[in-house]
């Protein structure tokens, strides 16, 4: 256990000097790695701890990964920190070279920090090259919890990109965000885990991304890759492709927390992203931003070329988790011909159907499993540069949620406050 940045640095140096023994242990644990990466990583860390006590041998180092970064996790509370730690450990063979997991405890207690360092020395699948990484768990107490940036900066591996992972509601506009965002090359969030409808934070994030040119990797958008492929496949047939310029209606059905989502409390970031992505790809502009209507519905009006496009987000009862997309429909009309493309997805299977003037033209289902948190973190870590499609989708989301849209009214706004992070946001 360390209690200052200097002690953490000292522990890190000692730790790698003893890593050779752990390497041997990790090699023995390799068979279990693929099936139970977290378990193997934990064993490797335990072996390392044992090695520290029994060996002074130095001079050997666990080979570092060739593609690395600093991953800073602003976990907020202890439970979230543990969840993030487990996800990081499960990506052991492909995760960042240095992870800092920060949580703030006892905000009114005496200032100080408790740090614990965990080393992950693993072999990759099939017993090949080694990967070495370390995770530093820092719990900041009292006044120290308000100065996280001062702890983070000295512990970053120099010359490596910094990813800032905010697993819960990011406190955009606060002093803490002002201090932490400038050190990050990319921001990792999960919009679908935000409190309330999530639209307030989404609008803020769109503004932050545009103003600060931060690369945003939103798991909510990453998760939709399988939906995007399915929707794109509707228009792969050359004779249907011209319909992309004649869209009249986009309708997204999502699983509501309660029937009709009367309080508007279901997170609708994912349904909104579908609309934002489609609108940005198909050259649409916002005529009327998103607004709440009766029966928990949300409406917007877009324009494509010379015609308007009606947008509807509709709550539905579903076995899927609240906020999950149930289906996406795109209706178009071109020279009198009506086309309706529909996509629905469950945990593993995606279904695509196309009705051409009421006649079934395509019906296909295929395997495209939902991405796990481990997959999502792996992808977020590997995103090298901003994905231009994601950038435009987020910017369009911002326009769909323009200030006069009404999303700031009622429950949407109030529901996204009061999170654990906000309680000490004056870094």
- Interface residues toward another protein, by CB under 8 A: 59, 63, 65-67, 93-94, 124-126, 128-131, 225, 228-233, 235-238, 241-242, 244-245, 278, 281-283, 349-350, 352, 362, 364-368, 375, 378-379, 382, 387-390
Closest approach, Cβ 44 to another protein, in A, equals 15
Closest approach, Cβ 121 to another protein, in A, equals 12
Closer Cβ to another protein, 132 or 315, answer by number: 132
Closer Cβ to another protein, 287 or 389, answer by number: 389
Closer Cβ to another protein, 99 or 415, answer by number: 99
Closest approach, Cβ 417 to another protein, in A, equals 33
Closer Cβ to another protein, 186 or 424, answer by number: 186
Closest approach, Cβ 350 to another protein, in A, equals 8
Closest approach, Cβ 123 to another protein, in A, equals 9
**How far apart (Å, rounded) are the C-alpha atoms in residues 86 and 42?**
10
Closest approach, Cβ 221 to another protein, in A, equals 11
Closer Cβ to another protein, 132 or 145, answer by number: 132
Closest CA to 168 of 45, 84, 265: 84
Pair type for strands 215-218 and 186-189: parallel
Closer Cβ to another protein, 226 or 408, answer by number: 226
Q: Which helix (H) or strand (E) holds 84?
A: helix 78-90
233, with CB counted inside 10 A (0-12, 13-18, 19+), is middle
Chain center to CA of 286: 26
**How far apart (Å, rounded) are the C-alpha atoms in residues 63 and 108?**
42
Per-residue tokens: 134: 């370390």
Closer Cβ to another protein, 68 or 115, answer by number: 68
Closest approach, Cβ 374 to another protein, in A, equals 9
| Torsional sign, CA 229, 234, 239, 243 | negative
328, with CB counted inside 10 A (0-12, 13-18, 19+), is buried
**How far apart (Å, rounded) are the C-alpha atoms in residues 75 and 83?**
9
- Torsional class of 373: left (φ above 0), alpha (ψ -120 to 50), beta (otherwise): alpha
Closest approach, Cβ 150 to another protein, in A, equals 32
**How far apart (Å, rounded) are the C-alpha atoms in residues 164 and 148?**
12
Closer Cβ to another protein, 63 or 287, answer by number: 63
Percentages of the chain per state (helix, strand, coil), in multiples of 5: 40, 30, 30
């Amino acid at each position: 256990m360390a209690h200052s940045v200097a002690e953490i640095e000292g522990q890190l140096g000692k730790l790698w000097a003893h890593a050779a023994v752990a390497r041997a242990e990790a090699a023995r644990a390799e068979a279990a790695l693929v099936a139970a990466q977290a378990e193997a990583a934990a064993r490797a860390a335990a072996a390392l701890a044992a090695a520290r006590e029994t060996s002074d041998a130095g001079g050997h180092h666990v080979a570092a990964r060739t593609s690395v970064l600093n991953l800073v996790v602003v976990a907020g509370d202890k439970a979230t920190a543990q969840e993030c730690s487990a996800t990081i450990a499960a990506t052991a063979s492909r995760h960042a070279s240095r992870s800092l997991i920060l949580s703030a405890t006892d905000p009114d207690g005496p200032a100080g920090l408790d740090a614990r360092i965990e080393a992950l020395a693993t072999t990759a699948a099939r017993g090949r090259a080694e990967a070495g990484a370390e995770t530093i768990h820092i719990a900041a107490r009292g006044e120290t919890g308000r100065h996280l940036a001062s702890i983070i900066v000295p512990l970053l591996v120099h010359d490596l990109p910094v990813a800032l992972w905010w697993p819960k509601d990011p406190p955009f506009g606060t002093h803490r965000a002002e201090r932490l965002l400038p050190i990050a090359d990319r921001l990792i969030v999960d919009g679908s885990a935000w409190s309330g409808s999530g639209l307030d934070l989404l609008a803020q994030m769109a503004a932050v991304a545009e103003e600060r040119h931060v690369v945003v990797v939103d798991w909510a958008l990453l998760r939709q890759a399988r939906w995007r492929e399915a929707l794109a496949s509707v228009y792969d047939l050359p004779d249907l492709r011209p319909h992309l310029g004649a869209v009249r209606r986009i309708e997204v059905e999502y699983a509501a927390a309660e029937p009709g989502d009367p309080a508007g409390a279901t997170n609708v970031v994912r349904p909104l992203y579908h609309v934002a992505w489609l609108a940005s790809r198909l050259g649409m502009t916002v005529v009327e931003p998103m607004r709440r209507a009766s029966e928990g519905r949300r409406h917007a009006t877009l324009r494509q070329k010379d015609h308007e496009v009606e947008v509807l987000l509709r709550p539905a009862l579903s076995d899927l988790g609240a906020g999950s997309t149930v289906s996406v429909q795109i209706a178009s009309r071109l020279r009198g011909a009506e086309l309706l493309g529909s996509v629905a997805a469950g945990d593993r299977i995606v279904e695509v159907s196309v009705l051409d003037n009421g006649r079934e033209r395509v019906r296909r289902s295929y395997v495209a499993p939902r991405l796990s948190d481990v997959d999502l973190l792996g992808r977020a870590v590997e995103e090298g540069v901003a994905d231009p499609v994601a950038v435009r989708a987020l910017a369009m989301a911002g326009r769909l949620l323009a200030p006069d849209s009404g999303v700031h009214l009622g429950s949407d706004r109030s529901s996204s406050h009061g999170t654990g992070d906000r309680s000490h946001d004056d870094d």
